[in-house]
Amino acid sequence: MIYIFCAPSGSGKSTMVKHLLTRYPNKFELSISCTTRAPRGQEVDGREYYFISPADFEQRIRKGDFIEYEQVYEGLYYGTLRSEIDRIEHEGRAVIFDVDVKGGINLKRILGERATSIFVCPPSIEELSRRLHARGDTSEEMIEKRLAKATIEMEDAKHFDIQLVNNDLESAFANLDKIVEAHMNA
Ligand code: ADP
Ligand code: 5GP
């Protein structure tokens, strides 16, 4: 099984993915994307991303290595490697994709029934603002930009198989468990 997770920044996508990885050990694995941005903080090449040069990225585009790729931020490219699906499925685990909303819609279009696409929604833009402020790692200017982007991204929720509202955390976890357990038992 393949799961595609998308959400406006701060909606709780990482929280949901982390929940799956800990609640079901050895059942899921995150696909590692390529990016041309530099590593941040404790990030390690081959763990969070494959950090590659723009020239390398272009060569991989030409070779057809990517299922999809996107200039997510100005001048910074992110791409999903075809080889990740094979690698993770070979280990007998379900694949998790964590990509931007456009990339998620593209992946679902390409993978069809093989994938379940999940859009993690905040209960409201006001609550999203509260969470981004509470997380304390994003500047006021970036928060304003992300809230404006979130309002637009919410329009795309309807293109996803599942809209998972992350209001009360325990209820959101329970709803997610129900979705994946239905697939595991199918
Ligand atoms: P994303 O990966 O979508 O950017 P995160 O998972 O980092 O979002 O969540 C953003 C912040 O909101 C984090 O500080 C997280 O702990 C908090 N958070 C996530 N879900 C909830 C929730 N249901 N209620 C309150 N706070 C939440
Ligand atoms: P960050 O730089 O914060 O790690 O990620 C920025 C954004 O890029 C996030 O929304 C993340 O989901 C998205 N992203 C990461 N990998 C890919 C990918 O392979 N394709 C696309 N389209 N987006 C990606």
Identify the bridge partners of residue 50 per DSSP, sorted by sequence position.
34
Would you say residue 73 has pLDDT above 90? no
Give the number of whichever ligand sits closest to the CA of residue 18: 1
Distance 79 CA to ligand 2 centre (A): 8
Closest atom, ligand 1, to C-alpha of 8: 3
The verdict on the CB of residue 105 being under 6 Å from ligand 2 is no
Closest CA to 99 of 124, 129, 120: 120
Q: What is the pLDDT of residue 144?
A: 93
Using CB distances shorter than 6 Å, the residues near ligand 1 are 7, 9-15, 131, 134-135, 166, 169, 172
99 burial level (CB within 10 Å; 0-12, 13-18, 19+): buried
How far CA 178 is from CA of 14, 30, 181, in Å, comes to 18, 20, 5
How far CA 174 is from CA of 30, 61, 155, 177, 180, in Å, comes to 20, 39, 25, 5, 10
Task: Give per-residue pLDDT as tens, 121-178.
Answer: 999 999 999 999 998 888 899 899 989 999 999 999 999 999 999 999 999 999 999 9
Q: Which residue is closest in CA terms to ligand 1's atom 14? A: 135
Locate 124 and state its tokens: 């409201």
Give the number of whichever ligand sits closest to the CA of residue 120: 1
Instruction: Give the DSSP per-residue string, 61-106.
Output: HHHT-EEEEEEEETTEEEEEEHHHHHHHHHTT-EEEEE--HHHHHH
Terminal CA-CA length for the chain: 11
SS3 label, residue 45: strand
Across 113-119, average pLDDT: 97
- Torsions phi, psi of 64, nearest 5? 80, 25
In the structure, what pLDDT confidence band is assigned to residue 81 with cuts at 50, 70 and 90?
A: very high
Would you say residue 186 has pLDDT above 90? no
For residue 46, what is the DSSP state?
A: T
Task: Give per-residue pLDDT as tens, 16-42.
Answer: 999 999 999 999 999 999 999 999 889
Residues counted in the chain = 186
